[in-house]
Structure 1
Amino acid sequence: MTRLVIETRGLTKRYGGRAAVDDVDLHVAEGARYGFLGPNGSGKTTMVRMLLGLVYATRGEISVLGRPVPSRVAEVLPEIGAMVEGPAAYPHLSGRANLALLDASGPRRGRAGRRRERVEEVLERVGLGAVDRRPVRTYSLGMRQRLGLAGALLNRPRLLVLDEPTNGLDPHGIREVRDLLVTLNAAGTTVFLSSHLLAEIEALCTDVGVVDRGRLVLEDALDAVRGPTGRLVVRTPDPEAAARVLGRAVAERHGDTLVVDAAPGGPPALARHLVEHGVPLDGLAEQRRSLEDVVVALTGPGSDTARGARRNGARPDPTSGGIRR
């Protein structure tokens, strides 16, 4: 049986007459990379703060690492690395000095020399190893994000809870953080990542929860969410010939790529049919739904989540049935 490191039941947080989080049942399995997806203002950060005991729920139950929160949150915090609503730091001190203070006040014990080694280790892991003694107030937003992630890693946590960890990073930095989280996850750390970026969740996560106006509208394994559409994607240097051979089965054309209705026998049968008619192939595969398709279908065109899914210059991607960024 899969062990849950985060579980909520009927979790609700109301501010006056508004429900920021509305009756949410969340299930995060040990060893998962769980993406908590929703636009700004959808209740993601409120949810994260409740998981860490920083905000009390109006009603509902929370269990983190097998213990109820907030009543026993002090027992689990030493095993959690967290960054919520951006990194906190003393602006007049250097990054190293901030981490040293955080480490000294944390649950880890050991000689000062060992703690300094750990500070240097996490700075290297997040790409700040070469940073000088400049105060944090001179850091860029991306550098501050890296410093916050370094602080979350100090205790070698079993569970990482991160709220928009790639905010302010350039594409190279985003990839570095993604690779780091995959490495940590492979070593046994469960990752719970809150983000409004579809591409970030789709590239990193194994499981996904989608929140819209405070309600959880989807929770599933990402592979299950991105299931087959029932169509096949054909890539060929001679799309005209392929279109003639396939006729009405062609549903879409995009340059050298054709999307066709699946035929009996699936990809092997279609490949044989094209080759027998002299059509060269560069590739043939099942078309799969994109996370965007699923989100838009669930939330509707007028929702904040659906509008967020269409931003950032997206254009059709026939290979996924969704978008290419």
Structure 2
Amino acid sequence: MNKHLTGAIAAALTVAFAAEASATEWNVSLWGKRRAFTEHVEKLAELVAEKTNGEFTLNISYGGLSKNKENLDGISIGAFEMAQFCAGYHRDKNRTITVLELPFLGVSNLEEEVAVSNAVYAHPAVQKEMAKWNAKLLMTSPMPQYNLVGTGEPRDTLEKMKGMRVRATGGLGKAFEAIGAVPTSVTATEAYNAMESGVVDTVAFAPHAHLAFGTINIADWWTENLNPGTVNCPVVVNIDAYEALSDAEREALDSSIDEAIAHYLDNYGKLLEKWDSILAEKGVQKVHIADAEIEKFKKAAAPVKDQWIADMTAQGLPAQELYDLVQDTLKKVRGGS
């Protein structure tokens, strides 16, 4: 009897180990904490687990796997299977995507941001560049236009922004530089300390980041309509890991992207709806920038786009084509020709 029981237990354990071995677990490298910026990844993990009955899971880590500026490097060596990064953190590694970070592109809402990102991500030159890092672009992390928070007297004119030390990365940093400000690219997680200690005078973020990283808690004012541009932050997967998935697992992942993005947009929309009440609660003054000042800003920042096109073209990239793709996509989304 004992012999039969031992055999049954061994068989059961063998089945259990085989089931465990057949399950697929991916590690996902994010940073900060769960917030509006990461809700699509959280939703993706939920959907993939549901569709595969728990046989394919995404283990999300907030800073435990890598520093945010090193996520693309981690993907390239297979340190983890999925990660989020922002193009402005390492512009030399993802040059083509930085077209989406140029100032005053004309994107007016999150749906348009998704559309232009998807169009650029699908371009062969972009996919080829990402493949150098063994990275496949999975989905974007659409963010509203950035605006400033600061302390003391509001910086509501270009003249007052001269010499202003501002946390701004990528094309936004170049735009502020064009009007005489001094950009610095401290990471999102460093922004609060930089502002509190006086390393920077102002911080440019989307609303969720001002909340998540606490800059709104020490701010006296917020520019409600400067809207110089935004940062583009893709979610990527390791190509080898993606290709190693079974057909069913790959289908579960790919088919969940649109729903994950829809969840993100809905969640972010709710945040924007209560933004005014958040400002009031924290005693932060809304500062409206005059139209004439914004037009001067646009004019001053215009060479940033031209220089980007010239620089990227010189490096053998289809820069003008990528810029035109963004503009053409905006026209299509708005029903233009």
TM bracket, shorter-chain basis: under 0.3
Q: Which structure exhibits the higher relative contact order, with contacts defined as CA atoms closer than 8 Å and separated by 6 or more residues?
A: 2
TM-score by length of 2: 0.21
TM-score by length of 1: 0.21
**Is the helix fraction higher in 1 or 2?**
2
**Is the strand fraction higher in 1 or 2?**
1
